[in-house]
């Protein structure tokens, strides 16, 4: 579906529009919504995991450079930190690291020259999951669908500063608590857990096309 969308939209646009491209990277403040399956109750309080993101993007302009479609390929280190009751009466901190390859398709609207509003879907593929040093990739869902909302500004015509919020629309995990934290699920049974991601991103982008054009003028 992603390939068909890309071909249909970008293929027609590239003929009439000059394609711009750039690189970007920044800071992730990642977290997760953790719930007991079927109840909607939050069982664990998850804390932020501070990590990073980075990748490349392209821009296709419409409406006299007021509206852009901006696809990208991004590496994103995500996850969360939470307290889990592994033994009766004792809580233990568990660090869960989730490393994704994401493909955001962002619609960028510029109502004024120095401000833009961003929104669009993001398709993610889980490369690796590690909980307290134990690889638990196989127990997480490998594919993820999310939604990005954000605002940004452009400095000097080529330097983009963006703040975005990403909310997972699908579950990254749905299974037993024991597998969730890397334990043997046959030892004990504390019920099922579901997790969906949520994250703030602060990114700095370099629009290489605009920088090259600025240098040639």
Domains in the chain and their CATH numbers?
Answer: 17-216 (2.40.160.20)
Whether the per-residue pLDDT at 203 is higher than 90: the answer is: yes
Q: Sign of the C-alpha dihedral, residues 140, 198, 146, 159? A: negative
Whether the per-residue pLDDT at 185 is higher than 70: the answer is: no
User: Which residues touch 189 (CB under 8 Å, ≥6 apart)?
Assistant: 176, 178
Whether the per-residue pLDDT at 40 is higher than 60: the answer is: no
Rounded average pLDDT over 135-142: 89
Whether the per-residue pLDDT at 204 is higher than 70: the answer is: yes
The 10s digit of each residue's pLDDT in 100-128 is: 999 999 999 999 888 999 999 999 999 99
- The Cα 107–Cα 91 span in angstroms is 43
Percent share of the chain, pLDDT over 90: 46
Q: Sign of the C-alpha dihedral, residues 39, 196, 80, 143? A: positive
Q: Are 54 and 201 in contact (CB under 8 A)?
A: no
User: Which residues touch 85 (CB under 8 Å, ≥6 apart)?
Assistant: 91, 92, 190
Greatest mean pLDDT among 11-20, 36-45, 142-151, 165-174 lies in 142-151
Q: Are 22 and 209 in contact (CB under 8 A)?
A: yes
List Cα–Cα distances, 57 to 40, 95, 188, in angstroms: 37, 30, 46
Rounded average pLDDT over 185-205: 77
Question: In which residue are the tokens 């953790």 written?
Answer: 34
């Amino acid at each position: 579906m992603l390939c068909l969308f890309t071909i249909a939209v970008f293929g027609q646009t590239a003929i009439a529009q000059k394609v711009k491209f750039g690189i970007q990277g920044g800071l992730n403040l990642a977290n997760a919504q953790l719930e007991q399956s079927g109840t909607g109750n939050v069982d664990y309080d998850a804390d932020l995991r501070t990590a990073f993101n980075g990748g490349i993007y392209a821009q296709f302009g419409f409406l006299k450079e007021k509206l852009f479609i901006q696809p990208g390929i991004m590496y994103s280190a995500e996850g969360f930190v939470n307290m889990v009751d592994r033994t009766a009466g004792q809580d233990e901190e568990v660090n869960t690291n989730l490393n994704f390859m994401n493909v955001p398709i962002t619609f960028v609207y510029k109502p004024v020259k120095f401000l833009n509003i961003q929104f669009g879907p993001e398709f993610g593929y889980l490369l690796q999951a590690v909980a307290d040093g134990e690889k638990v990739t196989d127990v997480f869902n490998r594919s993820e669908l999310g939604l990005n909302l954000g605002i940004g500004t452009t400095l000097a015509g080529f330097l983009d500063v963006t703040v975005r919020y990403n909310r997972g629309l699908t579950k990254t995990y749905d299974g037993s608590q024991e597998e969730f934290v890397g334990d043997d699920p046959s030892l004990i049974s504390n019920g099922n857990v579901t997790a969906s991601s949520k994250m703030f991103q602060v990114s700095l982008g370099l629009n290489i096309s605009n920088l090259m054009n600025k240098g040639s003028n």
